[in-house]
Chain A
């Protein structure tokens, strides 16, 4: 009787141990049931509305995939750590995610500064980061094996801006203005515009830069007006875009106005008010679809919200971004096969050739390509609809 008792206890212990180990996450963040994905996002800082939105979008797509059976039978779990838009915290979050939570890979970011700071760590630990939120070429120049970008850079956008003025609007040697922050994005924009105007034989652009802490854009706008700028491109954050539009209206300055993807949603139009429709109106370079339009991607996104996140009554472009990058990662995970390793994921992503997310322009990576896409499409602020309408398909720089 005593023997049987001992055997029962030992058996129970072994069963518990086996059950525990089978559910324990391995070093790579993958076991038979779960794939752990991590991300350092700004959830409480100045870009928290972006970070919160991206997190919600990622969880939306993961919930959808999990409800449909997961990836090769594994459920996806997203662990988001808050960095408050502070680079030092991004690095400590990375340590926490990789050493404590032991995630398999990283997904998403708020801005490009954090992922740039993580480059040496990703390289050392061989951990891929898919879908950093940023428009700067410094994300993939020089080439970085583990950073898989999603968006066309501001350099590409500036080139497309010049191409569009020439080929679609048929302008001849206009005065081009650039108004940007004095950072990498600003430098990318200048580089792209200068290269393209040189190519088409136009005069050099008029450039106005400002610091992030700026609260007043009147002097920049007045200087651009004094130089008779015909077309102005300002790839800046949404609140600054709205401020610039208001300044243009105030100064009665009416060039062709081009903003970037941060200025493509209804909230932005609400902030900008009448100034979005002032003069020749506003066009924006969109790096993703509008979730309110009739495309299949938008319909899929809306259906997913209705089913898996019905409490989200006011979905935004950051939810859509999160949804889109999660879709790219899941496609990579699916193609990597059931025997999942980081190397296999990287290899699968590298084989992506024109992958249609329905959200972004077709994604293409390769052994020497981590940009994903260089395409944007142009939206126009429509006064009657009080919304953006699609003006072009996906455009590449010439």
Chain B
């Protein structure tokens, strides 16, 4: 039972990790917590659904259609609603993201109604590995998440755009002084977060179905970002997996009343011991 629980927890944690990654990317670059991340995820899973059902694309095409749409949606939201607020205190920007979340929810309901829709590209019987069964959706969720994380780490370490984004996160003024187009990079970051939200939405859709309120998973993933120091990409991944596994294992072995609050208890515990999160690294400055 524990191995089954562990696999379920890792798969759930991968979803949390992808959503948390969206939070982290935007926060790292712009210091804004995007409360619309869950709704971007929801909207993009609807786009994938529309690709499959309305336009009759095959799943791979619908998947990339949704990811590109997620990128464009993220970039568009930044350009229309966030960029005009640059320079203002952080609170109006955060409120704006909450407003975006509500608008996306209403637009989705208007187009696709509130009825849950099915998007299940990984259907089929579970695979049996020794005494452990793993469903195709969990297997693909874990595989796709790890591939994505690997590609992200390559992107941030070796690509020019990735290096520019890291530079902005490290030193905004210095980046501007050295000619990095900061606004364009902000826009790109929102696009990237939208794209990764799309992947998370498509992976979670077979488990919880698509409906306008599925974006609430974004708030559940928030502790993952906090656990991982809210600015660290590996931290978001580890935080997500720790959260998913702890939630599932707590559900198996602790009283049922504890299951839902256990991730939060864990978060409090971590914050008490390490308020800056697990993956926070202190900068050393020469004086």
Contact = CB atoms under 8 A, between A and B. Distances in A.
Instruction: Tell me if chain B binds chain A.
Output: yes
Interface of A: 44-49, 52, 208-211, 213-216, 218-220, 222-223, 225-226, 238-239, 242-243, 246, 249-252, 267, 270-271, 273-274
Nearest to B217: A215
B133 A213 contact: no
Given A250-B133, A271-B209, 8 more contacts: A48-B114, A49-B113, A216-B251, A219-B249, A239-B208, A242-B209, A243-B209, A267-B115
Contact of A219 (B123, B124, B213, B251): B251
B192 to A, nearest CB: 25
A213 B259 CA distance: 12
Interface of B: 1, 4-5, 8, 12, 106, 109, 113-116, 118, 120, 123-126, 128, 133-135, 138, 204, 206-209, 211-213, 216-217, 220, 247-252, 256, 259-260
A218 B8 contact: yes
A249 B122 CA distance: 14
B260 to A, nearest CB: 5
A215 B220 contact: yes
A247 to B, nearest CB: 9
Contacts of A252: 126, 128, 133
Contacts of B5: 218-219, 222
Contacts of B216: 213
Nearest to A48: B114
A378 B124 CA distance: 27
B209 A219 contact: no
Contacts of B124: 274
Most central of A47, A208, A242 by chain B CB within 10 Å: A242
B166 to A, nearest CB: 33
A226 B5 CA distance: 12
A44 B114 contact: yes
A210 B256 contact: yes
Contacts of A214: 260
8 contacts: A46-B212, A215-B12, A218-B12, A219-B251, A220-B251, A222-B4, A243-B209, A249-B126
B12 A239 contact: no
B4 A273 contact: no
Contacts of A222: 1, 4-5, 8, 252
